[in-house]
Structure 1
Amino acid sequence: MLESTAQDTAHRELRRASSRCVELRTKRMAFLTLKEALNEERTLGSLRRDPARFRFLNSVHLVVATKHGPPNSFVDDNEDGSFTASGPLIDTVEVLAKSMNFTYSLVQPPDQEWGARMANGTWTGLVGMVMRNDADLVAATVCRSEARDQAVDYARAVRVARGQMLAPNGSPSIDPWGFANPFQPMVWLGLFLSLVAVWVTVLLMERKPKYSSYSAWVQKNLFIYLRIGLNQSTRAKITHEWKRLLTGSWMCLTVVLFWSYNCSLISLLSSRIITRPIQSLQDLVDHPSMGLIMERNTIFSSFIEVLHHYQIEFPDLCSVLSK
């Protein structure tokens, strides 16, 4: 009796276990893939009629790929090899799953890359998973590019970010020609030509005194207007009206330039001069000893590759775009 009772109990447990396996198999078979669900005419018709209120008629299971990309997605690895994902985009998928009647599982790209096209035409990272149908959608901030637009479809932008490049500043230096920096070269040239013009005008319009030699008279007039330009005191007997007007105009011009020069020179001497060799992407490309450090197969590395290509093919166009 005891043996028969034990056998009956064992048979009942086996039947229960087999029934559980059948139930699990049935549940797994009840979940459709996204492709299978969209192949149904009723589901596709409901989606076309009212996309804003669309809901899957049958249970659908999606594979969602994600990657650590703050602030929209955070991925923390666990000790057992699994991972935990969180962030605004993961919360969005959770809300969509409840409202559209689907379940999902999260996966990460094996190579931990965003997506780049290789030489053989295949794609890596998140973009490659979508193209190979290893994932139905991506819940991560994947930047757009022309090549990626041709490979996958994008939703509306959830974030617009600006990228910047960091380049080292030059070391503080002393410029031996710093006294000439307050004025541009054209200003210095104009000032010199004005001095020559005033000096030559006086020589042509005024007669040489009888008691003075020609060379001494020429030098005297030159140093008179040079001293006025340097705001130095000078003695000169001016009797003609035209010479007074000419000398007064030269004096006003040099006074304004002299005080402007003094203020600019004091400002330059009170601060250290630190050169910045990199002012644009064009400077970065042309710099002989500058190296780039960036994550491979990203939107930034692809942009540099495109910029380098156009630098070779269209150097003038690249120079304009980099400013």
Structure 2
Amino acid sequence: MLPAPEPCRHESPVQNENGTAVSSLGSPSTTILHPFSPALRLLVIAFLVYLAWLLEIFLLAANPRLLEHPEPAGVALYTIIGCILTGMIFPILCIRKAFISGTVTMFQLGFRTFRRTLLACSVTCTIGIGMMVLFSPFGADRLAFANAFLLLLPTAASSVMVCWVLAGTHLQAFVRSGGALLSITTGVVITSLLFATAALALSPSVREEGTTFWPVCIGLGAALFFFAVRDVYATVIVVTGSGVFFGAGIFDPGYLHGINPQIYASSLLAVIVLLALHFYLSRNYATIMVPAET
């Protein structure tokens, strides 16, 4: 009699902690995107933070038309809750997990060395000042331009932190296996749409006009700038300046031609918090380049 054939055993692939399928001998097999992989979880968390931030800027700034009439109490509440807490601190809390998992680095987040940041901001400010002198929407009134710039600064800082530092870098990490071109293109397109959506939610005047052209253009320009320069502070300057140039019509001239302590305090607080977060990341999650063995 012939011996009975042994039953076939179908070995299911074993997945490592990153959701990558490996064979029973430990050799890598075809990469399978696990529905609960760390990269996907971080991406979902990033978009939840974005939605929370979007809701807050709509309720705290858009409904009371805060940018058109910056009352002290409203500016303080919006700056602390919408811009600093949800727009800057929460993204850093999410980024901590990305650092631990090795998903992102300080370079990708746009937090660079002091010398590199100073150079990027100096060049950006020089170009911005030249454009202000030539094309200022407020004419020769430099105080009005400065007040509008400082009024938008906390919003711009939180926009950069949420749309590009958090969502943009996580998007790139999620599609990194497709190559640099795919990851950058995906990051630019999606983050520009995220920014345009936030701009529409922030400004009732823009929604009433029914145009999305300029918000999308600003988002595309800022996204290209961020992914090319990789500097948070310079990108904040670009976003703020663009908002002043293309959104000058939404401001109340009565608030821009005088001294506004609430505007100065809110912008100063946003800058201090951004610097503190940069210092925190540099002290605790700096990326150390290890030279290859020869």
| TM-score using structure 2 length | 0.22
Q: Higher helix share goes to which structure? A: 2
More strand by share: 1
What is the TM-score when the length of structure 1 is the normalising length?
A: 0.20
Using CA pairs below 8 Å that are at least 6 residues apart, which structure has the higher relative contact order?
2
